[in-house]
Chain A
């Protein structure tokens, strides 16, 4: 098996490494970098717990090879905010009780972020539809939607001022 040279930026840090071709991005994040905030909730690429941002777009890190990420920019939940300085989307989830066990939360935060980049997708129906592919096994969707609504509202207000 050939080694693949990968230059990748993860949470603002540059990593340059020759890696095995069959390493999944999710495994690299969790086992090599110990960034265990990216969760693995299924083995069938369906649950969305492992969603991260790859060049500003949500992807399932369990279905992407590290080798495919050469010259790309990755943001995981560890790169979003810190305990004492949460990202706005994390704050919204905290304020609205947007999580129960929290397992699906990292993936959902990124879905919420990508949704916030799209104008004209603000209705509750659109939010719920956009969450297709993010499973909350506690079934706490009601407060997840509430959290995302509040985040989008705040973000749109800030954008209007700018």
Chain B
């Protein structure tokens, strides 16, 4: 493995200052993507800045209308948190299906989000739950965060501190994943709040997207909506070794139908 320096800043500012002082630094959260990448020679940072000692990036807090999760919350912590299980069950089930158990013990919410893999699961939840991302410098609404494949609106060295999600009446995540990697070929996150629907889709395009056609429809209208009427060309659906664009569109439609099917009007 290539050589690099290793740092353990104790707070956000120290981490940020370290980043600015190094040649080609990268932050290390759980390391479930960056370390395999370094091993394979796909990344070669001069310095790894381990964020895990920054206390304010840990933990899950419940507020009246929202929930805040520290960037360093692991997938298993998300999946097993009583707050998440009770208030946003769709997110708990999403986290419990990421990769495998050993990865879920180490990989983090913030790490996954900042990596912005187009087939990652969390982005779908963030869009459908109206997430607000807080960094060491500012607040970013999720709709301005994911720019393209592996590209976010974070500045050089900016650190994602925590993520705040809206509580909703109902949430659900369904995905069809690659058997080898468990990454989503198509993942659909559905949230319903005050009877209004939001559906977001990951894995299908270069970045996560909100399905405009169903956005803010009342649940009964969304259930009746003819999904065949949607022109998916505008969403730039991927055509690759895992699945053709047509197949992905078909998956999107069936996963949405499955998600809405069991919902009642309550």
Contact = CB atoms under 8 A, between A and B. Distances in A.
Q: Do A and B bind each other?
A: yes
B6 A64 contact: no
A4 B6 CA distance: 7
A43 B1 CA distance: 12
Interface in B99-145: 99-103, 105-106
A67 interface: yes
B2 A114 contact: no
B6 A67 contact: yes
Give the interface size bracket for B toward A. Answer: 20 to 34
A100 interface: no
A63 B31 contact: yes
A59 B102 contact: yes
B5 interface: yes
B1 A24 contact: yes
A57 B100 CA distance: 13
Contact of A68 (B5, B52, B100): B52
B83 interface: no
Contacts of A63: 31-32, 35-36, 39, 106
Contacts, number: 81
Contacts of B158: none
B229 interface: no
B50 interface: yes
Contacts of A67: 6, 50
A63 B100 CA distance: 13
B180 interface: yes
A16 interface: no
Contact of B50 (A2, A54, A68): A68
Query: In the complex, which of the residues B2, B100, B180 has the most CB atoms of chain A within 10 Å of its own CB atom?
Result: B100
Nearest to B99: A133
Interface stretch (A44-52, A75-83, A148-156): A44-52
B102 A51 contact: yes
Interface in A75-115: 111, 114
B182 A132 contact: yes
Interface in B196-249: none
Nearest to A44: B36
Given A114-B101, A133-B101, A46 B180 contact: yes
B4 interface: yes
Given A45-B36, A46-B180, A132-B182, A21 B102 contact: no
B106 A21 contact: no
Contacts of A24: 1, 35, 39
A87 B52 CA distance: 33
Contacts of A4: 6
B258 interface: no
B265 interface: no
A2 B6 contact: yes
Interface string B152-182: 0000000000000000000000000000111
A152 to B, nearest CB: 15
A152 B245 CA distance: 44
Contacts of A70: 8
B198 to A, nearest CB: 28
Given A1-B4, A21-B6, A43-B39, A65 B31 contact: yes
Given A65-B35, A68-B31, A60 B102 contact: yes
30 contacts: A1-B5, A2-B5, A21-B4, A22-B1, A22-B3, A22-B4, A43-B39, A44-B40, A45-B39, A46-B181, A48-B102, A51-B102, A57-B105, A59-B102, A60-B103, A60-B106, A62-B39, A63-B39, A64-B35, A65-B31, A67-B6, A67-B50, A68-B50, A70-B8, A111-B101, A114-B101, A130-B101, A132-B101, A132-B182, A133-B99
Given A21-B4, A24-B1, 10 more contacts: A4-B6, A21-B3, A22-B4, A45-B32, A46-B181, A48-B100, A51-B102, A57-B105, A60-B106, A68-B50
